[in-house]
Amino acid sequence: MPEKYNNPSPPEKESGFYSDIVRRYETEVNRFVPGYAEEIVPLVTGEVIRKAHNGAVLDLGSGVGNVDEIIIDQANPQSIDLVEILEPMIEESKKRLEDKNSTIRFHEMSAEDFEAEPNSFNAVLSNLVIHNIPYEDKVRLISNIHKWLKDGGIFIWTDLVSFSDTAELERCFEERKKIAISMGATEEFAEENFKKEREEDNMITVEQMTEMLQQAGFQNIEILWTRYNEVVMRATK
């Protein structure tokens, strides 16, 4: 979905737009990422919950904290670190999670700038975020994620992907646009979304993701789910 909100401008000028996008986030992500609520979120949270019961979790690009809320409620993690670049999103997640009785740390920064000690986490997740990050920074981030995980820890990487056949990617955009509009998205917002995906995002193919994970030292790399140009992968340290 459009992430104009990735480029913060002066807050006084943009706060209306930001609070609007934050309020609308869960509606829009369901329209623009088919399968998000009914398949991706249960799959991702299920994987993390199984691995991180009483353990340490890191969410890179945590948005409004909806995924983290499920993990906290069901896994009772020892700690959860939320990294989110955008202030209005992280503020929303703070409100959402304020009553939770877990150790929650909020980091308002880019995933690329986050630092942690080696062997810190049982599970790292990043849901629909890394396609925003340029290739070389992605390589460094994936290598850091491997370093930050404990042995046997898992990385659940959900993302929008590209294909070597660009016509296939265009077919996915068309299908997803039809779905978004049938679910109530405006033509204008849909145009904006797919313009961003075409022109600004840094999507890579599943093969490139796999190679990047292998290069970082991950093992047992598996595609858990895929639809259109969306994929959920699991990799183990």
**Chain contacts with ligand SAM (rule: CB under 6 A):** 1, 3, 5-6, 29, 61-63, 67, 83-86, 89, 110-112, 127-129, 132-133
Instruction: Give 55 or 88: the residue with its C-beta nearer to ligand SAM.
Output: 88
Report residue 49 as tokens.
């919950």
Closer to ligand SAM by CB, 129 or 212: give it: 129
E strands, the chain, are 56-60, 79-84, 103-108, 121-127, 149-160, 219-227, 230-236
Q: Where are the alpha helices (DSSP H) in 39-165?
A: 41-52, 66-75, 87-97, 135-148
Token representation of residue 17: 């737009």
Cβ at position 151, least distance to ligand SAM in Å: 25
Please say whether the beta carbons of 228 and 168 come within 8 A: no
With respect to ligand SAM, which residue has the nearer C-beta, 110 or 122? 110
Q: How far is the CB of 211 from ligand SAM (least distance, A)?
A: 21
Helix H or strand E encompassing 13: helix 11-32
Q: State in angstroms the smallest separation of the CB of 86 from ligand SAM.
A: 4
Pick the closer one to ligand SAM by CB: 110 or 162: 110
Residue 11: its H or E element: helix 11-32
Considering the complex, what minimum distance in angstroms separates the CB of residue 145 from ligand SAM?
A: 13
Q: For residues 109 and 107, what is the distance between their CA atoms, to the nearest angstrom?
A: 6
Beta carbon nearer to ligand SAM, 86 or 165? 86
Integer Cα distance of 192 and 1 in angstroms: 8
Nearer to ligand SAM, 49 or 133 (CB): 133
Q: Which residue is nearest to ligand SAM (CB)?
A: 63
Separation CA 116–CA 103 (nearest Å): 16
Shortest separation between residue 115's beta carbon and ligand SAM, angstroms: 13
CB of 217 to ligand SAM, least distance (A): 22
CB atoms within 10 A of CB 177: 18
